[in-house]
Amino acid sequence: MLKLARNQAGIYQLHLHLPKAVRLRVGKLGTFLFPAGRYIYTGSALSGLEQRLSRHRRQRKKAHWHIDRLLSHARITFIRVRRTRRRLECLMNREVLKRPGAQVLVRGFGSSDCSCPAHLVYLGGPRRSGSSGSIEAGLRLQAMGQAAESLKT
Protein backbone atom coordinates (compact mmCIF):
# COMPACT_ATOMS: atom_id res chain seq x y z
CA MET A 1 0.00 0.00 0.00
CA LEU A 2 1.32 3.42 -0.94
CA LYS A 3 1.91 5.62 2.11
CA LEU A 4 1.49 9.37 1.72
CA ALA A 5 2.40 12.17 4.11
CA ARG A 6 -0.58 13.47 6.08
CA ASN A 7 -0.97 16.69 4.07
CA GLN A 8 0.47 15.40 0.80
CA ALA A 9 -1.00 17.05 -2.31
CA GLY A 10 -1.59 15.25 -5.58
CA ILE A 11 -3.76 14.04 -8.40
CA TYR A 12 -5.27 10.61 -8.84
CA GLN A 13 -7.26 8.40 -11.14
CA LEU A 14 -9.82 5.92 -9.86
CA HIS A 15 -10.27 2.99 -12.24
CA LEU A 16 -13.80 1.74 -11.66
CA HIS A 17 -15.92 -1.24 -12.59
CA LEU A 18 -19.70 -0.84 -12.58
CA PRO A 19 -21.16 -4.37 -12.62
CA LYS A 20 -24.63 -3.39 -13.82
CA ALA A 21 -26.29 -0.33 -15.31
CA VAL A 22 -27.66 2.15 -12.81
CA ARG A 23 -29.67 5.38 -13.02
CA LEU A 24 -28.28 8.05 -10.68
CA ARG A 25 -29.02 11.63 -9.78
CA VAL A 26 -25.80 13.65 -10.10
CA GLY A 27 -26.40 16.81 -8.10
CA LYS A 28 -27.68 19.73 -10.17
CA LEU A 29 -26.59 18.03 -13.40
CA GLY A 30 -29.66 15.79 -13.37
CA THR A 31 -30.41 12.06 -13.54
CA PHE A 32 -28.43 9.83 -15.89
CA LEU A 33 -28.12 6.18 -16.90
CA PHE A 34 -24.63 4.80 -16.30
CA PRO A 35 -24.08 1.62 -18.34
CA ALA A 36 -22.20 -1.30 -16.83
CA GLY A 37 -18.50 -1.30 -17.62
CA ARG A 38 -15.21 0.45 -16.98
CA TYR A 39 -14.74 4.09 -15.99
CA ILE A 40 -11.84 6.32 -15.01
CA TYR A 41 -12.38 9.28 -12.70
CA THR A 42 -9.60 11.88 -12.43
CA GLY A 43 -9.41 14.07 -9.35
CA SER A 44 -7.11 16.13 -7.18
CA ALA A 45 -6.46 16.86 -3.54
CA LEU A 46 -4.28 19.90 -2.99
CA SER A 47 -3.97 18.85 0.64
CA GLY A 48 -4.76 15.54 2.27
CA LEU A 49 -4.44 13.16 -0.69
CA GLU A 50 -4.32 10.07 1.53
CA GLN A 51 -7.49 11.17 3.33
CA ARG A 52 -9.29 11.82 0.03
CA LEU A 53 -8.39 8.37 -1.33
CA SER A 54 -9.39 6.78 1.96
CA ARG A 55 -12.75 8.51 1.76
CA HIS A 56 -13.29 7.34 -1.82
CA ARG A 57 -12.63 3.74 -0.72
CA ARG A 58 -15.13 3.91 2.17
CA GLN A 59 -18.52 2.39 1.43
CA ARG A 60 -20.50 4.46 3.93
CA LYS A 61 -20.26 8.22 3.49
CA LYS A 62 -22.43 11.19 2.85
CA ALA A 63 -22.52 12.07 -0.86
CA HIS A 64 -20.51 15.26 -1.29
CA TRP A 65 -18.88 15.07 -4.74
CA HIS A 66 -20.38 13.78 -8.00
CA ILE A 67 -18.18 10.68 -7.80
CA ASP A 68 -19.65 9.70 -4.41
CA ARG A 69 -22.94 8.79 -6.06
CA LEU A 70 -21.28 6.45 -8.57
CA LEU A 71 -18.95 4.94 -5.95
CA SER A 72 -21.97 3.65 -4.04
CA HIS A 73 -22.50 1.24 -6.98
CA ALA A 74 -19.04 0.83 -8.55
CA ARG A 75 -15.92 -0.94 -7.34
CA ILE A 76 -12.49 0.72 -7.40
CA THR A 77 -10.16 -1.72 -9.16
CA PHE A 78 -7.01 0.40 -9.38
CA ILE A 79 -5.79 3.82 -8.25
CA ARG A 80 -3.06 5.82 -9.99
CA VAL A 81 -1.49 8.57 -7.88
CA ARG A 82 0.82 11.47 -8.76
CA ARG A 83 2.20 13.44 -5.80
CA THR A 84 2.32 17.08 -6.87
CA ARG A 85 1.12 20.54 -5.93
CA ARG A 86 0.62 21.36 -9.61
CA ARG A 87 -2.91 21.22 -11.07
CA LEU A 88 -2.30 18.46 -13.60
CA GLU A 89 -5.60 16.59 -13.36
CA CYS A 90 -6.96 18.12 -16.59
CA LEU A 91 -3.84 17.02 -18.48
CA MET A 92 -4.15 13.53 -17.02
CA ASN A 93 -7.86 13.48 -17.90
CA ARG A 94 -7.18 14.53 -21.51
CA GLU A 95 -4.91 11.48 -21.89
CA VAL A 96 -7.81 9.22 -20.86
CA LEU A 97 -10.14 10.97 -23.32
CA LYS A 98 -7.71 10.09 -26.16
CA ARG A 99 -8.21 6.36 -25.62
CA PRO A 100 -10.14 4.51 -28.32
CA GLY A 101 -13.82 4.36 -27.41
CA ALA A 102 -13.53 6.80 -24.48
CA GLN A 103 -16.80 8.65 -23.92
CA VAL A 104 -18.12 11.44 -21.75
CA LEU A 105 -21.57 10.34 -20.58
CA VAL A 106 -22.32 13.25 -18.23
CA ARG A 107 -20.99 16.69 -19.17
CA GLY A 108 -19.70 18.49 -16.09
CA PHE A 109 -19.25 15.35 -13.96
CA GLY A 110 -16.40 16.19 -11.58
CA SER A 111 -15.30 19.18 -13.65
CA SER A 112 -17.24 22.09 -12.21
CA ASP A 113 -13.99 23.96 -11.49
CA CYS A 114 -12.39 23.64 -14.95
CA SER A 115 -13.23 23.65 -18.67
CA CYS A 116 -12.96 19.87 -19.20
CA PRO A 117 -16.11 18.22 -20.56
CA ALA A 118 -16.02 15.85 -17.53
CA HIS A 119 -13.55 14.11 -15.24
CA LEU A 120 -15.42 10.81 -15.50
CA VAL A 121 -14.73 8.85 -18.67
CA TYR A 122 -16.58 5.71 -19.76
CA LEU A 123 -14.33 3.12 -21.43
CA GLY A 124 -16.96 0.55 -22.36
CA GLY A 125 -17.66 -2.98 -21.21
CA PRO A 126 -15.28 -5.43 -19.56
CA ARG A 127 -11.64 -5.20 -20.63
CA ARG A 128 -10.64 -7.63 -23.34
CA SER A 129 -7.92 -10.05 -22.26
CA GLY A 130 -4.47 -8.83 -23.17
CA SER A 131 -5.50 -5.16 -23.09
CA SER A 132 -2.92 -2.86 -21.55
CA GLY A 133 -4.76 0.47 -21.37
CA SER A 134 -3.64 1.40 -17.86
CA ILE A 135 -0.04 0.44 -18.66
CA GLU A 136 -0.11 2.58 -21.81
CA ALA A 137 -1.50 5.56 -19.87
CA GLY A 138 1.22 5.14 -17.25
CA LEU A 139 3.87 5.10 -19.95
CA ARG A 140 2.44 8.28 -21.50
CA LEU A 141 2.58 10.01 -18.11
CA GLN A 142 6.18 8.89 -17.62
CA ALA A 143 7.07 10.10 -21.10
CA MET A 144 5.77 13.54 -20.05
CA GLY A 145 8.22 13.45 -17.13
CA GLN A 146 5.56 12.60 -14.57
CA ALA A 147 6.30 9.44 -12.60
CA ALA A 148 3.00 7.90 -11.57
CA GLU A 149 2.50 5.60 -8.59
CA SER A 150 -0.16 2.94 -8.46
CA LEU A 151 -2.34 1.28 -5.87
CA LYS A 152 -4.07 -2.02 -6.45
CA THR A 153 -7.28 -2.30 -4.48
Nearest residue to 76 (alpha-carbon basis) of 14, 28, 26:
14
**What is the three-class DSSP state of 108?**
coil
Instruction: Give the per-residue pLDDT at 68.
Output: 85
- The tally of CA atoms less than 13 A away on the side-chain side of residue 149 is 12
The list of the chain residues with pLDDT below 70 reads: 1-6, 61, 63-65, 127-153
A 10 A CB-CB count for 59 gives 6
Long-range CB pairs of 95-99 (<8 Å, 24+ gap) are 95/137, 95/140, 95/141, 96/13, 96/40, 96/42, 96/121, 96/137, 97/121, 99/123, 99/133, 99/137
User: What local confidence, expressed as pLDDT, does residue 113 receive?
Assistant: 83
* pLDDT (0 to 100) of residue 64: 66
Q: Render pLDDT for 72-96 as a digit per residue (tens, 0 to 9).
A: 999 999 989 888 889 899 999 999 9
Predicted local distance difference test score (pLDDT) of residue 141: 39
> So what's the pLDDT on residue 127?
63
Q: What is the pLDDT of residue 139?
A: 36
